[in-house]
Structure 1
Amino acid sequence: MQEEITKHSEKIYKTVKNSEHTLGEKVKEIIIEIFIIVFAVTLSIGLHSWSEHKHQQEEVSIFLNNLKNDLKDDVKSLNIEKGGYQESNIGYEKILALTTLQLDSIYKSKGKVNFPIYSHGQVINIGNYEGFKSSGKIGYIEDEKLKQKILNYYQILAPSISEVDKIYNDFLFKCFDKMIENADKSEEQLYSDPKFKKTIEFLVRLGKNNIRVYDQNVKPEAVELIKEIEKELNK
């Protein structure tokens, strides 16, 4: 492009210096050369913008495909974690329902009380999103509604999952601390302790709350986002 501009600029200069042409002919030739330069620059800018836009949208397409796979994995993980909460709650509720006489009977018969342990970790896949966002490419997504849904999912819902799981794990570790504190006592005494039972009761409540957060807040949004992404990719 630079060579073309230089070439036509030289033509303009030669035209101005050409003593054989009249002023009218010079003006006509200069206008033509200027028009060629303007047209070439405009065309070059247009082609560059088109090529850059095409490249950006290819990156968006790859990102959305990866994000769709992440979201499908998220839904599976949410179901697994929900199952973990449900199974743990059943075990905790059985412990809470045990009377002193039932506990006495269990330990006299050399039985054991099963204390469920299910520590909840990272549920939402954020790697692809964080990579695309940190590179400043989120703005490449032209569908504003879709972009806002993605931002809402990863900036509001994903952190909420981590937060409710963290609170649950904190209470689970409070139970472990209580077990360690009472290591010199029998399990029967531990499971009869009102403070220990109250901590378990809170575990059950938190588990039910987290299931609600999974089922009513995060999972429906993940499923809806998958549909929106597929719709965008099929345009």
Structure 2
Amino acid sequence: MSNKEHSIKDKVKEVLTEIFIIVFAVTLSIWLHSWSEHRHQQQEAAVFLSNLKNDLENDIKNIDIEKNAYHESNIKYEKILALTTPQLDSIYKSKNKVDFPIYSHGPKMNIANYEGFKSSGKIGYIENEKLKQKILNYYQIFVPAINEVDKYYNDFLFKCFDKMIENADQPEEKLYSDPKFKKTIEFLVKLGKNNIRVYDQNTKPLSIELIKEIEKEMNK
């Protein structure tokens, strides 16, 4: 009787051991797969952040170029506004022309890496929540904001062109001395100064801050 009981206990132990081995093997396999997948995700996130850092550095360069272009356009518009009627008469009598800046503004922001990473559903691979939120804010709030202010400026600039075309049969000195047209140019200068402020106080500082945060994350 004891031999039979001993035999049953041995069999139970063997079964339990086999179950334990199977469960352990499955658990280990799942853990290794999860670890491997997580490691791969973090590698993808690291490559993305490295590319994003390059994009942000280029964004800063483009912002500085655009700021200078706005500044130069504003100087030329202010010179036009300062012209008196006698000065305008003198310019056209000498068969010269008023130099009206024709520059459609707007920096070329680098968004391809961000859009590709986000649209593939991988933005969650960035585990640093603070950094992730700053990236989302930059690309979903600040980049669209500067695109919008540049659009306002360009729309208003084209209104100036429309006014010039409408008055193509009139002497140019008459157009440049027209109070309504001068008011239009004044507003264009104000928009240009506002856009420089948006670049300086909002977009550029966040770009610099993001680069520092990315470098800190990559050096962990």
By relative contact order (CA 8 Å, sep 6+), the higher-ranking structure is 2
Corresponding position of 1:166: 151
- Map 1:131-146 → 2, pairs under 5 A: 131-146=116-131
**Within 5 Å, which residues of 2 pair with 1:5-20?**
none
Is structure 2 residue 111 aligned with structure 1 residue 126?
A: yes
Percent identity of the aligned residues? 78
Q: Which runs of 4+ in 1 moved over 4 A?
A: none
Give the counterpart of 1:91 among 61, 76, 96. Answer: 76
In structure 2, distance between residues paired with 1:35 and 1:145: 42
Which digits, 9 at most, give the CA deviation of each residue in 1:142-163, with x for residues without a partner?
A: 0000000000000000000100
Q: 1:143-154, aligned counterparts within 5 Å?
A: 143-154=128-139
Q: Which amino acid in structure 1 is aligned with residue 102 of structure 2? A: I
Aligned ranges 1:1-235 → 2 under 5 Å: 22-235=7-220
Cα deviation, residue 108, structure 1: 1.7
Supply the AA of the counterpart residue of 2:101.
Answer: P
- Unaligned segments of structure 1, at least 5 residues: 1-18
> In 2, distance between residues paired with 1:54 and 1:159?
33
Q: Which runs of 5+ in 2 are unaligned?
A: none
The one-letter code matched in structure 2 to 1:36 is I
Deviation at 1:122, TM superposition (A): 4.8
Deviation by residue 1:137-194 (Cα, 9 ceiling, x = unmatched)? 0001000000000000000000001000000000100000000000001110110111
- What does the per-residue CA deviation read over 1:86-137, in whole Å, with 9 as the maximum and x for residues that have no partner? 0000000000111111111221222221001110245311110000000000
TM-score (norm 1): 0.90
1:185-228: CA deviations, max 9, x gaps?
Answer: 11101101111111111100000000000000000000110010
Question: SS at 1:46's partner residue?
Answer: helix
Distance 2:19 2:101 in 1: 81
For normalisation by structure 2, the TM-score amounts to 0.96
Once residues 22 and 170 of structure 1 are traced to their aligned partners in structure 2, the CA distance between those partners, rounded to angstroms, is 91
Q: CA deviation at 1:22?
A: 1.1
User: Do the aligned partners of 2:66 and 2:107 also contact (CA within 8 Å) in 1?
Assistant: no
- Preserved CA contact (<8 Å) 1:146 1:228: yes
CA distance in 1, matches of 2:215, 2:79: 44
